[in-house]
Amino acid sequence: MGIAAEESRAFHVTTVRKDVVTALLPLQEHWLALSNLDPLLPPLAVSVCFCYKKPNSLTSSLAINNTLKKALAEVLVTYYAFAGEVVTNSTGEPELLCNNRGVDFVDGFADVALRELNLYDPDESIAKFVPKNKHGVISIQVTELKCGSIVVGSTFDHRIADAYSANMFFVSWAQMSRSEPISLVPSFRRSLLNPRRPLLIDSSIDLMYMPVSSLPPPQETCGQDVLTSRIYYIKSDVMNQLQALASSNGFRCTKLESFSALLWKLVAKHARKYPRKITSKLGIVVDGRRRLADQETDKKESNMKTYFGNVLSIPFGGRRVDDLMEKSLSWVASEIHEFLNGAITKDHFLNLIDWVETQRPKPAVSRIYSTGSDDGPAVVVSSGTGFPVNKVDFGWGPPVFGSYHFPWGGSAGYVMPMPSAAGNGDWVVYLHLTQGQLKFIEEEASHVFKPLNSDYLKI
């Protein structure tokens, strides 16, 4: 593996203070059931991190933390789900108790400068700035660096919120910190995702999802098969060239399809140790909000746009490794487009909601989440292109870097491309793949995947 910055080094984060921030106004305690799309997520912790250059010298770290806590207390009045806790109900299902237990808030100090951070290796850098979520739904950590820069990290329970929901929260928290009204008021109307009566079950869902109890036992990994996280950047002109190569015969694929096609070819090419006819799988996370709204009424469209919870599906396709290796990038992109087409519809999400109704209270999961010993490599691409990194400005300027951190624990790889904080069309890409796959990708596609470093971030 390459080293992102020569000056990067080991560092320590010291906890200065711990608080619990509750909603500013008293809330009526109540229960909020999970929707039929929430049980498709295991109890996974998702982290996100924002790095800021040193604020104005007149602003002390104490004043910054007090401002953030005050704004958090205010925004939790509206985003009350994040102030609750997950409990198990009488049927054995998780449920959200909205009791304003509050958000664990950690103040920290790190003996490292912003420029010295090796963000290319988030397991050694970002992981120290995001808290363990031990009690509530979300936890916050604000860390001052020795250079005066600030890192805001957070970890939340994926069963309660997807990245879209968390993004709404971070933007609203930043707006409140700047003494501005929040632009997106979350909707917690679970009835928007109620199953149909009678239920209509499509057999295609059984091919995509299965009960958690049917998951194969986890496989032991070692050496080059250990899953590891890395962060790269991809220049906008390279993405444009990739999109042009992946488009053919009058069909113009999206940048996400183009990127996923390249990634799938690389993962397949690395799998030379497998029999050539083995199948490799690739899944892409799809947000169903716009599909379910379907512009039926302006009100429903608005409610779905601001719906807080999980509205995700993970369609995937399996293709032979030798086909992925030998056929063109445009062929792979068209194969991705084909399996996506069946799942970017309103009917797919309605079928999925109805299917989950037949499974409850048993939790279910996408079949690509775990692979068996006879399967080829699998990877899930989650579209983070809507990551509002430049909007998370708490009053001292937008971040110079932001990224999700999601070493999810599955045997399949996980990848999330996001917009660069530079706002120039570049991508920042989080990869959670095996060490062998990462090394191979760096060797084969160094012109595309550039290890993130302080020079690129201009810090």
Look up the CATH number of the domain holding residue 305.
Answer: 3.30.559.10
Tell me, yes or no, whether 170 lies in a domain: yes
Q: Which residue has the higher pLDDT, 191 or 61?
A: 191
Domain-embedded: residue 362: yes
Task: Tabulate helix, strand, coil % of the chain (nearest 5).
Answer: 35, 25, 40
Closest listed residue to residue 446, CA positions, set 266, 181, 217:
266
Q: Are 29 and 98 in contact (CB under 8 A)?
A: yes
Q: Are strands 94-98 and 85-88 parallel, antiparallel or unpaired?
A: antiparallel
Residues 112, 454 contacting (CB under 8 angstroms): no
Output the 3-class SS for 222-281.
CHHHCEEEEEEEECHHHHHHHHHHHCECCECCCHHHHHHHHHHHHHHHHHHHCCCCCEEE
DSSP 420: -
* Residue among 118, 126, 113 nearest 5 (CA): 118
Average pLDDT over residues 305-316: 96
- Residues paired with 365 in a beta bridge: 210
> Same domain for 17 and 128?
yes
- Per the structure, the count of domains in the chain is 2
Q: Is residue 431 part of a domain?
A: yes
Q: What is the pLDDT of residue 6?
A: 40
Q: Is residue 2 part of a domain?
A: no
How far is residue 32's CA from residue 81's CA, in Å, rounded to a whole number? 8
Beta carbons of 405 and 130 less than 8 angstroms apart: yes
* Cα separation, 292 vs 300, whole angstroms: 9
Do 362 and 394 share a domain, yes or no?
yes
Domain boundary pick from 174, 192, 210: 192
Q: What is the pLDDT of residue 382?
A: 94
Q: What angle do CA 136, 142, 148 make, to 5 degrees?
A: 180
Is residue 272 located within the same domain as residue 364? yes
Say whether both 353 and 207 belong to one domain. Answer: yes
Q: Which residue's entry shows tokens 């971070």?
A: 170
| Domain end among 192, 210, 227 | 192
- Both 218 and 175 in one domain: the answer is no
Can you give the pTM of this predicted structure? 0.94
pLDDT at 250 over 80: no
Q: What is the pLDDT of residue 185?
A: 96
Nearest-angstrom CA–CA distance, 34 and 414 = 25
Return the beta strands (E) in 294-390 as ranges: 312-313, 316-320, 364-366, 378-382
What is the bridge-based pairing of β-strands 45-52 and 13-21? unpaired
For the segment 341-379, what is each residue's pLDDT rounded down to a tens digit?
988 899 999 999 999 999 999 999 999 987 655 678 999
Query: What's the mean pLDDT when you consider all of the chain?
Result: 92
Same-domain status, 273 and 385: yes
- Residues 351 and 278 reside in one and the same domain: yes
Evaluate whether residue 213 is within a structural domain. Answer: yes
pLDDT at 148 over 50: yes
Query: What count of residues does the chain have?
Result: 459
- The answer to the question of residue 1 being in a domain is no
**Token match 């917009």: residue?**
419
Is 332 among the domain residues?
yes
Q: What is the average per-residue pLDDT within 295-300?
A: 58
Same domain, 429 and 317: yes
Q: Looking at the structure, do residues 344 and 393 belong to the same domain, yes or no?
A: yes
Give the domain range for residue 54: 13-192
> Which of 172, 192, 212 is at the close of a domain?
192
Indicate whether 236 belongs to any domain: yes
Alpha-carbon dihedral sign for residues 438, 443, 447, 452: positive
- Collapsed DSSP state (helix, strand, coil) of residue 101: coil
- Whether pLDDT at 218 is above 70: no
Q: What are the tokens at 332?
A: 């792979």
pLDDT at 279 over 60: yes
In this model, does residue 77 exceed pLDDT 60?
Answer: yes
Evaluate if residue 7 carries a pLDDT over 50: no
